[in-house]
Amino acid sequence: MLKEGDRGAFSLLYKRYWQKVYGFCRLYLNSCERAEDVVQEVFIKLWEARELLREDDSPEGFLFIVTRNLVFNQYRKEVNEDYYKMTVLSALESSYDIEEEIAARDLSRYIDRLIEELPEKRRQIFNLSRKAHKSHKEIALLLGISEKTVENQIREALRFLRKNMLLLICFLG
């Protein structure tokens, strides 16, 4: 009767097998909605292929094969979507890190320009301290000045940098 397009026969098969088809789908699919979508698709395929069914074949076998194929297709799709999402997230995180690196590099250049604005002696002392990692004592010995002068010059350099950094922050904020 199904083969001849009898909607009553189709309705009977649907009522008899939808729970089994749904249960099989739920074994493999995480989402109830996706399982329901697959169930609907299985029965649509049954209706579309009704003329190909043989009378001596059980509809249960056909439903199982179609359900299995659709579930595995859906499962592959979910895995691919998850992989795609992870790839996109990874790319976004990577681009975020790149953006941070660019911002840090720009900030470093800005600080270097500020350091270049320092008076020559102060700039020399500051660079020996911060870039060459020399102690106050080593700088004092190297330049023939007192440690107190080194401390004062570094303090003034830092004050200048903080003031200009604050202006930058206010401007950007």
Strands (E), the chain: none
How many of the other CB atoms lie within 10 Å of CB of 73?
12
Using one digit for the tens of pLDDT, what is the confidence trace for 20-54?
Answer: 999 888 887 778 888 899 999 999 988 888 887 77
Per cent of the chain over pLDDT 90 is 34
pTM of the entire predicted model: 0.46
Q: Examine the pLDDT at 86 and tell me if it is beyond 80.
A: no
> What CA–CA distance (Å, rounded) separates 41 from 67?
9
Q: Which of 29, 33, 100 is nearest to 70 (CA)?
A: 29
With bands split at pLDDT 50, 70 and 90, how would you rate the model's confidence at 19?
Answer: very high
Q: Examine the pLDDT at 16 and tell me if it is beyond 80.
A: yes
Phi-psi region of 133 (alpha: psi -120 to 50; beta: other; left: phi over 0): left
Q: Which structure tokens are listed for 77? A: 């799709």
Give me the amino acid identity at 156.
E
Which runs of consecutive H residues, i.e. helices, occur in 29-58?
32-48
Counts for the chain of helices (H) and strands (E), in that order: 6, 0
- Average pLDDT, stretch 84-105? 61
Using one digit for the tens of pLDDT, what is the confidence trace for 131-163?
Answer: 899 999 999 999 999 999 999 999 999 888 888
Q: What is the pLDDT of residue 152?
A: 96
Q: What is the pLDDT of residue 3?
A: 77
